[in-house]
Structure 1
Amino acid sequence: MSIEILTLLFFGSLLFFLLLGLPLAFVLGGVSVVFLYFTWGFGSFFMVVSQIWGTMGSFTLVAIPLFVFMAMILERTGVAKDLYRMMHLWFGGVRGGLALGTLAICAVFAAMVGISGAAVVAMGTIALPSMLERGYDRKMALGVINTGGGWGILIPPSILMILYALITGVSVGQMFAAGILPGVLLMVLTFIYIIVRATLQPHLAPALPKEDRGTWPEKLRALRAVLLPIGVVVMVLGSIIGGITTPTEAAAMGVLGALISAAVYGEFKWSVMQEAAIRTFKITGMIMWILFAAHAFSAAYQSMGAQELIEGMMQHIPGGPWGIIIAMMVIIFFLAMVLDPVGIMLITLPVFMPIVEKLGFDPIWFGILFVINMEIGYKTPPFGFNLFYLKGVVPPGITMKDIYTSVIPFVLIEILAIAIIMIFPEIATWLPDQFF
């Protein structure tokens, strides 16, 4: 059988079983094992086992359950509520101020937890009712929460970046450093959009009346709310940048910060720790199975010779190397609408990374473009996770159509950010070069 037909059958089988709704890990692993057996025989399984054994010995893997556990604990503390009260007092007096404050809180949450859903649920519960009560346009409010919640996978620490590093072999620390400036860029672009829109259309995001803005003593007292979050961020990112810990060890520092936060807010209870631990076990177990499947997929893909076929096909894309990178971004963008980010990583990275490196592009830079695309996927219909997280906490009068349409301008902003980082790659590469 020719390599073209074999490759078509391989990817066609993957797509067919995924569309049936079967779990990603078992589809990816099962189809790969079947094709390995019929391509190379029973002996090919030893190659998969050898790769899995090597991965399981990776010290980097320890960071995943630690960062997940940290996120689970921080979700249960009162950090988000106090932060919103502080932002409400300081930003509420300007047009679009509550939206800007909500985005700032999302950025702080992103720098603490490393996952997407935590900030969406927290701000959907706390900030959304507040904005709607004060006359904010519902689509503006929904879009702000949706986009800010997605920053958790770009602004370090990020579990998705750890997985990217594991699959591609790049440094976790470099990926974390590379995510800082693109995260700032996205914040600035989104802030500019909110300010311009609120200035041109004041009814969409009105300023708070004077009686709701708080006095200066209230504002100064409210600043205490940022002390714990800043402490957690410094414990995680500060220890990495300062060379005190590795990214994996910094995850343990983050757990310590989360436990201190829980104690300060009176949530250091057995029930909270038990629930956080069980949820951590479930998420970590899912990730481990997906990593096993990824190794089987990578082995099958390479053993069939499909890599050479895909590389040959890519050479026919117009525009040279940049045309190929843009084509990859478009493919990832559309995959992100229907698949979860980890699945996209496992399917595309073994295919794309050899091509990216062969064309001479920096894998760290490509990783940031990839992660921003995954971030877009979290909020784009029909299956963006943040859309459903938000639907679970919004008031009854808000429909799924409202949530879907609210993300359009914010998706365009993130596409603009990707274009800027492609034109100026130093935005993603400068900090890693300085720190490492």
Structure 2
Amino acid sequence: MLEFMPLVLFAVICTVLMFGYPVALSLAGTALAFAGMGLGLESMGIDANFDGSYLFALPNRLYGIMTNQTLLAVPLFVLMGVLLEKSKVAETLLDAMALLFGSLRGGLGISVTLVGMLLAASTGIVGATVVTMGLMSLPTMLKRQYSPSLATGTICATGTLGQIIPPSIALVLLGDVLSSAYQQAQLSMGIFSPKTVSVGDLFMGALVPGLILVVLYILYVAAIAWLKPSAAPAVDREELMEELGHRSGLGWLLLKGLVPPITLIVIVLGSILGGFATPTEASAVGAFGAMMLALAYRRLDLETLRAVIRSTTNVTTMVFMILIGAALFSLVFRAYGGEELITHLFESMPGGVVGATLVVMLVIFLLGFILDFIEITFVVVPIVGPILLAMGLDPVWLGIMIAINLQTSFLTPPFGFALFYLRGVAPDSVATSSIYRGVLPFILLQLSMLVALAFFPELATWLPDQF
């Protein structure tokens, strides 16, 4: 039994989290309890296969977390997204898109997809995007006689794009973890190389799959509108403009609502992809640009600024607290010989690297029902990442597969996080079954993207290789 203690530790943590206890405290508290048990058994002369020397690395781990330059991008990207949301820049962007495409059948659905993509890229947080899009666009879509299942499915699916569309917080965190995992895998193979995986590599790798998903979403909405016009009817542009309260012409609204935020995102992402700035530097530019936009729109008063800072601080504190708890868990897991146990299980698994990858993807998919992407990134990926990378997998490809896998998990009934977020803001007239039915086609599209990536890894690796 004691040789399987690492798996018991992992199962206990998952169980504790299912009871709703705070993630950071669950990780740290459970790990400390198991560490105390291991030290106690060793002191009684019972071989618990526990190496307490791993715990001496904790201060260095914590210092490394707090001084990590890559992780500094997290609060800045969060600040950028929250500013765009709280100052209603995103709302103006949605109005402009709705007026641009609304006169087409399915136009509102296409608008929601495009704005959701931009908002997801700027916030990178599934809950924030789904709730914001649900509050802003769902009432308009329902009022315009859109099918409830199509409207809710589109909002949920576009909300999860924050996992894959750069610049994404999920990719920033994944990049940092995979970089450490890649170096660890190289050392385990006796390779001493300075080569690593950067966040910019993941951004470039995610760009093509992310844009393909957006195109697939738009094509699906357009197909529904063509096959069943009553599910996604066209909207009278003048009537919609009157309802949204825009007195100025469409051209001025498009110029004011579309150009500035799109320019900001292009500058942030382009500076990273072009090698002109690191993700941390680009995130600072993005946060500053979002503040300038809010000031230009005259929507940054003291109350808004206070709400923005409070929200950014909450998210950043949560991320770093989870990081600290995950670091302690990782050390205790390894102290019990967890790394050797997982390596042995993977090597003895039928199918070799393919079988091991399938099992990991299935486990991550199921854990996505009970854990957020931050917990999975810092708890699961450091355990399985070095082993899979040592078996020859490309780190960029693995990171993109994990991101899309989590995106699909957050969308899958009955436990998908995105479904719960939208249910919380959707009117009572929208049945939960409609939300579930609405997301099913989008789940199939995302699974198709995963299969395509499995057979054509170049979709994720071609662009980083070019740079």
Q: Which runs of 5+ in 1 are unaligned?
A: none
1:205 and 2:205 correspond: no
Aligned counterparts, 1:207-246, within 5 A:
207-209=234-236, 212=239, 218-224=249-255, 225-246=257-278
Residue from 64, 73, 76 that aligns with 1:66: 76
Could you tell me which residue of structure 1 aligns to residue 352 of structure 2?
320
Partner SS for 2:426: coil
Could you tell me which residue of structure 1 aligns to residue 281 of structure 2?
249
Distance 1:257 1:166, change over 3 A: same
Q: Distance in 2 between matches of 1:53 and 1:59?
A: 12
Aligned counterparts, 1:173-188, within 5 A:
173-188=200-215
Could you tell me which residue of structure 2 aligns to residue 107 of structure 1?
117
1:358 and 2:390 correspond: yes
Of 371-380 and 262-271, the range deviating more from structure 2? 371-380
Q: Distance in 1 between matches of 2:425 and 2:298?
A: 24
Q: Which runs of 5+ in 2 are unaligned?
A: 40-49, 180-196, 242-247
Aligned counterparts, 1:34-45, within 5 A:
34-37=33-36, 38=38, 40=50, 43-45=53-55
**Contact 2:102/2:237 (<8 A) preserved:** no
Could you tell me which residue of structure 1 aligns to residue 221 of structure 2?
194
**Contact 2:55/2:332 (<8 A) preserved:** no
Deviation at 1:11, TM superposition (A): 2.4
Q: Distance in 2 between matches of 1:208 and 1:408?
A: 26
**Contact 1:25/1:293 (<8 A) preserved:** yes
In the TM superposition, what whole-angstrom CA distance separates every residue of 1:31-68 from its partner, at most 9, and x where no partner exists?
A: 22333341547654321222222222211121111111
Could you tell me which residue of structure 2 aligns to residue 14 of structure 1?
13
Q: Distance in 2 between matches of 1:427 and 1:305?
A: 36
Amino acid at match of 1:191: I
Could you tell me which residue of structure 2 aligns to residue 277 of structure 1?
309
In the TM superposition, what whole-angstrom CA distance separates every residue of 1:353-401 from its partner, at most 9, and x where no partner exists?
A: 1221122011111111111122223333444332233223322312333
- Pairwise CA RMSD of aligned residues? 2.2
Residue from 63, 82, 92 that aligns with 1:82: 92
In the TM superposition, what whole-angstrom CA distance separates every residue of 1:181-203 from its partner, at most 9, and x where no partner exists?
A: 11101111112222222222222
Distance 1:9 1:328, change over 3 A: closer
- TM-score normalised per structure 2: 0.87
**Contact 1:117/1:149 (<8 A) preserved:** yes
Could you tell me which residue of structure 2 aligns to residue 27 of structure 1?
26
Deviation at 1:30, TM superposition (A): 1.9
Q: Distance in 1 between matches of 2:11 and 2:136?
A: 44
Deviation at 1:210, TM superposition (A): 7.3
Deviation at 1:143, TM superposition (A): 0.5
In the TM superposition, what whole-angstrom CA distance separates every residue of 1:134-175 from its partner, at most 9, and x where no partner exists?
A: 221000000001111111221111111121122222311111
**Contact 1:378/1:384 (<8 A) preserved:** yes
**Contact 2:51/2:336 (<8 A) preserved:** no
Amino acid at match of 2:219: I
Q: Distance in 2 between matches of 1:302 and 1:120?
A: 37
Amino acid at match of 2:253: A
- TM-score normalised per structure 1: 0.92
Q: Distance in 2 between matches of 1:24 and 1:78?
A: 31
In the TM superposition, what whole-angstrom CA distance separates every residue of 1:204-237 from its partner, at most 9, and x where no partner exists?
A: 11223576588xx944333212111122113311
Q: Distance in 1 between matches of 2:338 and 2:91?
A: 51
Deviation at 1:122, TM superposition (A): 2.8
